[in-house]
Amino acid sequence: MMDFQDTWALLHPAIAVVVVFPLLGIVLNRALLTRERRLAMKVGEKSKIPPIVGTEHVAIGRYLSMAVVGVTFLGLAYPIFSKFINKNLISEEPFRVLFIIALFILSITSFIFLFQAKTRIWRGIFATLTGMGLVLLGCQPEIYRRDHEWLVSHFYYGILAALLMIFSVATIQDIYQDRRNRWRNAHIIINSFALLLFIGQGITGARDLLEIPLHWQKPYIYQCDSVGKTCPQFK
Residue 234 lies in a domain: no
Residue 235 lies in a domain: no
pLDDT at 1: 66
Residue 229 lies in a domain: no
Which tens digit of pLDDT belongs to each residue from 77-104?
999 999 998 888 888 899 999 999 999 9
pLDDT at 36: 92
Over residues 178-186, mean pLDDT: 87
Which tens digit of pLDDT belongs to each residue from 20-39?
999 999 999 999 999 999 88
Residue 231 lies in a domain: no
Number of domains observed in the structure of the chain: 1
pLDDT at 203 over 70: yes
pLDDT at 231 over 80: yes
Residue 206 lies in a domain: yes
Residue 197 lies in a domain: yes
Q: What is the mean pLDDT of the chain?
A: 92
Residue 194 lies in a domain: yes
Helix H, strand E, coil C: the string for the chain is CCCHHHHHHHHHHHHHHHHHHHHHHHHHHHHHHHHHHHHHHHCCCCCCCCCHHHHHHHHHHHHHHHHHHHHHHHHHHHHHHHHHHHCCHHHHCHHHHHHHHHHHHHHHHHHHHHHHCCCHHHHHHHHHHHHHHHHHHHCCCCCCCCHHHHHHCHHHHHHHHHHHHHHHHHHHHHHHHCCCCHHHHHHHHHHHHHHHHHHHHHHHHHHHHHHCCCCCCHHHHCCCECCCCECCCCC
pTM for this model (two decimals) = 0.91
pLDDT at 111 over 80: yes
pLDDT at 6: 85
Residue 233 lies in a domain: no
Domain encompassing residue 79: 4-221
